[in-house]
Chains A and B, each alone.
Chain A
Amino acid sequence: MITFNNERQMTTLKQKKVLAVASGGGHWVQLLRLRPAYSHHDVTFMTTNAAYAKDVDAPLVTVTDANIWNKLGLLRMFSEVFMHLLRIRPDIVITTGAAPGFAAVVLSRLFGARTIWVDSIANSEELSNSGKQAGRVAHVWLTQWEHLAKPDGPQFWGAVL
């Protein structure tokens, strides 16, 4: 028989629904490098290219790739993210950006998910635009550069490299 000597240990053994979000290229590569943090849970990946399914052995959903210069695309992407959230109902959302991760962090607050923003390591001089905005909504708001951390956030916990 397994016994638990405290409540926290019991909690840690319970699988969570994790939604791991990144747009393509470097954002996706960084999300995969963080897998030891979340892969033991019930993970769904959300990205912008269905071909990334070959990189992971978990369900993967896609949304339109859009950025701040494409308002119509953004609107479409936000609604796609919303529909996926409605179905998946994640306990946790973790993202390395960019726009789809921002949409997931903002919208999943409506469903009570805990949200983690990891700003891309490429932003070594200042946070990305979406990263700055994410600070207002994400529960955990991280930069991968110690010199960009501030008392009110973002925090620095480490880097993917």
Chain B
Amino acid sequence: MIFVTVGTQLAFDRLIEAVDSWAGKHPGETVFAQIGPGQYKPKNCTFADFVPPDKANDLIRTADLIISHAGMGSILTALKYQKPILVLPRKASLGEHRNEHQLATAKWLGQKPGVFVADEAHDIATILGSRSQLKSGDGISEYAQPAFTDRLKDCIDVA
């Protein structure tokens, strides 16, 4: 199963349309899409506007592949469950977010094993064409860098 998610806030029709179009050509694939407040309704995937956080976690855990916007919530969760994730960064220039931070996030996290980046919507089909190469990395620890949380802890404990 492929789990597609646009995150908790904004629509991202460009992503949903691209994946839906790919799914139409690959009827053997099961795709579930969380589409947010989008206008475009998928024809070839089952979908929901939003899913509760625990259900979203379950979907990520059981999926073979995650496809999402370049949001930290989706990427950190995919890394935690050691799932490969393909991201399409939102562009503020297309009205998809308030600024261009997702382009920077994609550039940075795209260097991590298990994180794959589609620069443009049409790259999604190309990348999915070599799906066997979309392998997960080694996962990440449950918590932030200990040096960071230790310093915050000291600051809180003596406050």
- Interface assignment of A133: CB less than 8 Å from any CB of chain B: no
- Interface assignment of A16: CB less than 8 Å from any CB of chain B: yes
Q: How far is the CB of B139 from chain A (nearest CB, A)?
A: 12
- Interface assignment of A44: CB less than 8 Å from any CB of chain B: no
A18 to B156, CA, bound (A): 9
Give 1 or 0 for each of A109-133: 1 = CB within 8 Å of chain B CB: 0000010101011111100000000
Question: Chain A: residues with CB nearer than 8 A to chain B?
Answer: 8, 11-12, 16, 18, 24-30, 33-38, 41, 49, 51-52, 54-55, 65, 67, 91-92, 94, 114, 116, 118, 120-125, 140, 157-161
Do residues A157 and B151 form an inter-chain contact, with CB atoms below 8 A?
Answer: yes
Do residues A125 and B152 form an inter-chain contact, with CB atoms below 8 A?
Answer: no
Interface residues of B in 19-56 (CB under 8 A from A): 52-54
A120 to B99, CA, bound (A): 14
Main secondary structure of the interface of B (DSSP, over half): helix
Do residues B156 and A37 form an inter-chain contact, with CB atoms below 8 A?
Answer: yes
Nearest B residue to A7 by beta-carbon distance?
B158
Chain A residues with CB under 8 Å of B94's CB are none
A30 to B73, CA, bound (A): 8
Given contacts A25-B8, A160-B148, 7 further A-B contacts (CB under 8 A): A11-B158, A29-B76, A33-B142, A49-B8, A49-B53, A52-B53, A124-B108
A121 to B108, CA, bound (A): 11
Q: How far is the CB of B65 from chain A (nearest CB, A)?
A: 20
B-side interface size class: 35 or more
Chain A residues with CB under 8 Å of B149's CB are 34-37, 158
A-B contact pairs, 30 of them (CB 8 A): A8-B158, A18-B156, A24-B53, A25-B8, A25-B9, A25-B74, A26-B7, A26-B74, A29-B76, A29-B77, A33-B143, A33-B144, A36-B144, A36-B153, A38-B153, A41-B156, A49-B8, A49-B53, A67-B98, A92-B156, A92-B159, A116-B156, A122-B71, A122-B102, A124-B104, A157-B152, A158-B144, A158-B149, A158-B151, A159-B145
